[in-house]
Every structure is written in C-alpha cells, then in structure tokens.
Amino acid sequence: MAKFLSLHDAVAANLSDGDVVAFEGFTHLIPHAAAHEAIRQGRRELTLVRMTPDIVYDQMIGLGMAKKVVFSYVGNPGVGLLRRLRDAVENAWPVPLEIEEHSHAAMANAYEAGAAGLPMAVFRGYRGAGLADVNPNIKMVECPFTGEILAAVPSMQPDVTFIHAQKANKKGDVLVEGIVGIQKEAVLAAGRAVVTVEEIVDNFDGLHPNACVLPAWTVSAICTVPGGAHPSYTHGYYGRDNVSYLEWDDISADRERFTAWMQANVFDASPEDFAGRVTKFRNAT
Amino acid sequence: MSDATPEEMMTIAASRALRPDDVCFVGIGAPSAACNLARLTHAPDITLIYESGTIGTAPNVLPLSIGDGELCDTAVTTVSVPEMFRYWLQGGRVSVGFLGAAQLDKFGNINTTAIGDYHNPKVRLPGGGGAPEIASSCGEIFITMKQNQRGMVNRIDFFTSFGHGDGGDAREKLGIATKGPTLLVTDLATWKPDAVTKEFTVVSLHPGVSREQVQQTCGWPVTFAENVETTPAPSALELTTLRDLHARTKAAHSGDAA
C-alpha cells in the first residue's frame, strides 16, 4: 500500500546500490526530481533501464552511477546525441558502461510481459536487424501453431520503477494521463514503485471512467514534487522546457562544465527547487 | 516559385508522395516536416502517428521530440506505447513508415546505431528506437535525407533497420511480407528502387540539379533511370505553407513557453 513520503525517504527506502532501476517516461512525465535525489544519495553500480534514456540518464551515467544501461533509443530528442553517455561508451569516462540495446517494440513488449508475469515477450520483430547479432538477449522462436519465426526477449522486471504522474488521491491511487507511454507497465512490472506527483487531491470524482489509474496497492511510495518532471512536462500542468534540452547539448559537451552544472543544479539543490523551474511553462499545456 | 532551398525542395517533394488516405508512422526530423506539410496541403485527412502513441495527430508546430504535448492535445486518440507497437504497427494498420537516416546504402538499409564497430564505436549514435519494426511492419517505407558522402555510403556500418538487404528478394527470404523502401527523397533528387535489383535509382532531379551533383554527394555509383524527369518546382502554396510551419516552430521552440 502506498506510503506518503518525502522524496528523500522514498528514494532511501526503495533504491539500493546494484539495483535494476527504471526511471520511466516517454518524453512526458520523466521523473527528473527522483533521479536527482538518487544522485544526491550517491547510489552506485545501478543497471539503468529506460526505453528512451535522455538527459537525466546522461547525468547519472556522467557521474559514474551506472554499470549498465538497457535502452532502445539513447539521445536528446530532436537535439542530438547524449555526450556523457558517448564519453562513457567510447572512452570509459568516468567508468566503463555496459550496454544492452533493443528496439522500442522489444522494450515495450518486455515491460508488458513483465507486468503480465511472463518470463519473456514474443513479437514479430528484429527481422534483418543488426541488434539481433550483437545482443544475446534477442532470440528467435518458432510459433508452435503456424511455424512463423518470431522474436523473443526476456521480460523486463526492474527491482524498482520511478515515474512521475499528474496526481494522487488521499488513498494513494495515482492518475496518469496524456502520453501515458510505458508508465503503467513499468510500475506493474517492478518489485517496487515510487511515484512523484504534482499534487494530492481529495478524490478522483468526475474522472473519465477509463482513466489510467494505478490503485494505491500497486505503488510503494508517493511523493508530492511539483514540477518534478522538469525539463520534461506534465500534461495539464506545465509544458516541456525545450530550451533546457537544447542547452544540455552544450553543458554536456565538456567534462568540467558538466561537473560544475551538476554541483550547482543537483547536489546544491533540493526537490523543492523544481516548482520554480516550471513557473514560466505553466500556461503552455 | 524558384527560390526554394534544396532542403525545402526535399521536404516538399517528400510531402507529395503521401496520399490523403495514408496512415503514416512519422519519424522525427525531416520526415516530420514532410508529413505535416502533406497534411497542411493536399492530404488534410491523412492519419499521422508518432511512436509516443499519438494517433491522428495534427500539431500546429513541428514537435521537437516524438512526445511533445501538442501531439497528444491534437490527436484523435493517444494509446500506450505497447499498444502502439503491438496493435497498430505489428497489427498491420500502418500504410507508410517515413524514416530519416544517418547512414543509408543503395538498397535502403539504414544505420542510426553506430559509426565504426558496434562494440567499439567511433561515434555512438542514438540507435533505432522504433525503426527496426517500422521498417518491417509498415506497408512501405519512404526515406528522406540530405545527400552527402558520409551519409550515403557503399556499405553501412550497422543494419539498424532492414531495407532490401543485398537486393533482389532479400526481404522475402527473411519472411518479411511488406514492401520495404519504395521511395527516397533527397535534397537533390527523387529515387525509387529498381523493380528487380531493388537498388535505388534516380527517377527525378530537382530543378537545377545536375547528374554530377548527385554523384558527387553519393558514396555509391549512381544509377539513373532511363527517363529521368525534372521534379516539379514548389508551388507558392507549398512553399509558403512550409515556411509558415517552420516559422511557427522556431518561435515555439526558442525563447519562452509556446
């Protein structure tokens, strides 16, 4: 059953060194504040999982928190490459980084299989694709009914998933809307789930009957962190800070500039700082 | 209208290939501009799909990412990412996939994964995202990219998504039933695969472009169709619509909140 905790306490209680952890968000609802808290708490040896690792994964990788990253698209969307990740992959700075790479279809199917309690996912994919040759976790299986050759990947079941969401009610049920991405599957596939929300409301009366709600008993902890997705966005609350994504390209291009930026904006900052970062984007949704 | 830049000509020529009843899976970047230009000109009812789950979207400005909020706000419906890839793409509901490429070979195979050896790359690129299954599950694939020797190469370093392999019936041999790449639009020319070899062949040169220019910016020996046509120049409507779209996009993505 969901506990209402401070972000510090929720991360401390649910994330340990060596964990397989997903900070999910498909452009939308990326849990930046939660990842920054993990950075401040100095977690190491993590296996970082996400379909679309972008700048917050670049930050964690640039600080040497990860031994491995599992992904299907690793870039700064619409801007370019992730420079800290490149430095880790190409130059082992600050530490070597193992990669396990999939396609979106494979990752999405793997999370869904994880949520469904299956050991693997089966789909029509990877035909002629080079990833099947370099990733031993991609296999081909034969359909026992038709003989069709299909792709199989292990299901994705992180030790812990972090997501951001619009709101929770007082019982701890969580509402996710807009581009829901992989949020629901990533929570239901994980051993533990921590959700940061924009606000806590009394109840969900008047919601659409099919709204995406994660019942309180599927969530380990809920933390109120207004602006907690910034520079990603929260549909209905504030828009995406595209300028910050563009600026990251320059900040991350240089090891010293990166390190100074992390000190000023993460180590010397707190979850409460996120609310101020989204003020000017609040009319943009 | 003859003052269009080569890039504008590319986007306009690519947009013309889309049909009003297409269901199009849109790649980010150049494909996104072409697809939305088609929607704003000759194909107002085209269904545009982005991999973030937005189906039937009609953004006023081009998204910076595949998951910008406006894609959801203007969509007919927004589904989860697993549903997107399972029911809609794998289910065979998408007629055209529109992709860009970092590296492309003459058979329409695309590399967006790594330059150099995969395990020890010279440049680590973002990777495939949805492209491996877009390339095999959409009815056909359109590709658009600017020509240069580094991009259009004799041999790609990594098969991120499969086009026509080494040509001929390579797709059938792998059990892929869809058509694969049927069109390549660059800033200089329009290309279509040869019916038998599947090698991309120049069928149309954009206005003012020479065969030499096409060859100089392409890493493989270029084959030209028997009758090479001249791409019709952009109409006033196409060019102003595209420029307005880019102007709105620039205003929205720079400076303060859109």
**B-chain residues near A281 (CB < 8 A):** 257
d(CA B184, CA B174): 22
User: Which listed residue (B7, B8, B51, B83) is catalytic?
Assistant: B51
d(CA B96, CA B84): 15
The yes-or-no verdict on residue A284 having pLDDT over 60 is: no
d(CA B39, CA B57): 10
Instruction: Give me the torsion for CA of B180, B185, B190, B195, rounded to 10°.
Output: -10
Q: What is the pLDDT of residue B255?
A: 57
Is residue B214 included in any domain, yes or no?
A: yes
Q: What is the pLDDT of residue A26?
A: 95
Q: What is the pLDDT of residue A129?
A: 96
d(CA A183, CA A115): 11
What is the CA B72 to chain-centroid distance, rounded?
22
Q: B175 vs A127: CB contact, 8 Å cut-off? A: yes
Tokens of B76: 């007919």
Distance from CA of A122 to the nearest CA of B (A): 10
Q: Name residues whose C-beta falls within 8 Å of residue A180's C-beta, 6 or more positions apart in sequence.
A: A212, B53, B78, B79, B80
Considering only CB atoms, B118 lies closest to which of A79, A134, A285, namely A134
Tell me the pLDDT of chain B averaged across its residues. 94
Alpha helix segments (H runs only) across B48-198 = 69-73, 81-83, 131-137, 170-173
Considering only CB atoms, B80 lies closest to which of A73, A81, A184, namely A184
Q: B119 vs A134: CB contact, 8 Å cut-off? A: yes
Q: B129 vs A108: CB contact, 8 Å cut-off? A: no
Q: Is B174 on the interface with A (CB under 8 A)?
A: yes
**A-chain residues near B135 (CB < 8 A):** 128-129
Distance from CA of A9 to the nearest CA of B (A): 30
Considering only CB atoms, A89 lies closest to which of B63, B124, B131, namely B124
- Nearest Cα neighbor of A108 from A127, A118, A121 is A121
Q: What residue has token string 């990740």?
A: A85
Q: A179 vs B121: CB contact, 8 Å cut-off? A: no
d(CA B136, CA A127): 7
Q: Is the dihedral of CA B117, B123, B124, B130 positive or negative?
A: negative
Is residue B168 included in any domain, yes or no?
A: yes
Q: Active site includes B51? A: yes
d(CA A238, CA A284): 6
Domains and CATH numbers, chain A: 3-102+157-277 (3.40.1080.10), 104-154 (no CATH)
Q: Is B170 on the interface with A (CB under 8 A)?
A: yes
Considering only CB atoms, B53 lies closest to which of A131, A179, A283, namely A179
**B-chain residues near A90 (CB < 8 A):** 121-124
d(CA A174, CA A159): 20
Q: Is B249 on the interface with A (CB under 8 A)?
A: no
- Span B164-181, mean pLDDT? 97
Tokens of B188: 């200089």
Alpha helix segments (H runs only) across chain B = 6-16, 30-40, 69-73, 81-83, 131-137, 170-173, 211-216, 236-253
Is residue B143 included in any domain, yes or no?
A: yes
Contact indicator for A163, A184 with CB cutoff of 8 Å: no
d(CA A204, CA A88): 44
Q: What is the pLDDT of residue A30?
A: 98
Contact indicator for B138, B95 with CB cutoff of 8 Å: yes
Q: Is B90 on the interface with A (CB under 8 A)?
A: yes
pLDDT in tens, B89-113: 999 999 999 999 989 999 999 999 9
What single string gives the DSSP state of each residue in A20-52? Answer: EEEE--SSBS--HHHHHHHHHTT--SEEEE-SS
Distance from CA of A169 to the nearest CA of B (A): 23
A147: left (phi over 0), alpha (psi -120 to 50) or beta: left
d(CA A131, CA A122): 16
- Span A257-285, mean pLDDT? 93
Is residue B258 included in any domain, yes or no?
A: no
Tokens of A284: 């943009």
- Nearest Cα neighbor of A182 from A113, A129, A242 is A113
pLDDT in tens, A52-111: 999 999 999 999 999 999 999 999 987 889 999 999 998 999 999 999 999 999 999 999
Number of structural domains (chain B) is 1
Q: Is B123 on the interface with A (CB under 8 A)?
A: yes
Angle, alpha carbons B249-B253-B258 (nearest 5°):
90
Interface predicted TM-score of the whole assembly (ipTM), two decimals:
0.95
Contact indicator for B43, B20 with CB cutoff of 8 Å: yes
**B-chain residues near A86 (CB < 8 A):** 123-124
- Span B75-98, mean pLDDT? 97
Residue B252 confidence class, pLDDT cut points 50, 70, 90: confident
Considering only CB atoms, B132 lies closest to which of A86, A131, A178, namely A131
Report the CATH number that the domain containing residue B237 is assigned in CATH. Answer: 3.40.1080.10
pLDDT in tens, A161-217: 999 999 999 999 999 999 999 999 999 999 999 999 999 999 999 999 889 899 999
Angle, alpha carbons B66-A281-A195 (nearest 5°):
70
**B-chain residues near A182 (CB < 8 A):** 80-82
**A-chain residues near B78 (CB < 8 A):** 178-180
% residues pLDDT > 70 (chain A): 99
Contact indicator for B142, B30 with CB cutoff of 8 Å: no
d(CA B168, CA B170): 6
Return the biggest CA–CA distance within chain B.
53
A203: left (phi over 0), alpha (psi -120 to 50) or beta: beta
SS3 B193: strand
**B-chain residues near A181 (CB < 8 A):** 52-53, 67, 80-81
Q: What residue has token string 């270029």?
A: B222
Give the A window 9-38 contacts with B, CB below 8 Å. Answer: 26-28
Is residue B257 included in any domain, yes or no?
A: no
pLDDT in tens, B23-56: 999 987 789 999 999 999 999 999 999 999 999 9
Neighbours of A17 (CB within 10 A): 11
Is residue B256 included in any domain, yes or no?
A: no
Residue A25 confidence class, pLDDT cut points 50, 70, 90: very high
The yes-or-no verdict on residue B258 having pLDDT over 50 is: no
Q: A128 vs B86: CB contact, 8 Å cut-off? A: no
pLDDT in tens, B17-31: 999 999 999 987 789
Neighbours of A254 (CB within 10 A): 12
Q: Is A111 on the interface with B (CB under 8 A)?
A: yes
Q: B86 vs A108: CB contact, 8 Å cut-off? A: yes
Considering only CB atoms, B133 lies closest to which of A105, A149, A178, namely A105
- Nearest Cα neighbor of B185 from B18, B1, B3 is B18
Is residue B1 included in any domain, yes or no?
A: no
Q: Is A124 on the interface with B (CB under 8 A)?
A: yes
Is residue B130 included in any domain, yes or no?
A: yes
Residue in chain B closest to A87 (alpha carbons) equals B124
Residue in chain B closest to A30 (alpha carbons) equals B67
- Span A251-272, mean pLDDT? 98
Contact indicator for A66, A60 with CB cutoff of 8 Å: yes
pLDDT in tens, B189-215: 999 999 999 999 999 999 999 999 999
Domain range enclosing B44: 6-251
Q: How far is CA A12 from CA A146, A167, B6, in A?
A: 49, 22, 55
Contact indicator for A21, A160 with CB cutoff of 8 Å: yes
Pairing mode of beta strands B23-26, B120-124? unpaired
Residue B2 confidence class, pLDDT cut points 50, 70, 90: low
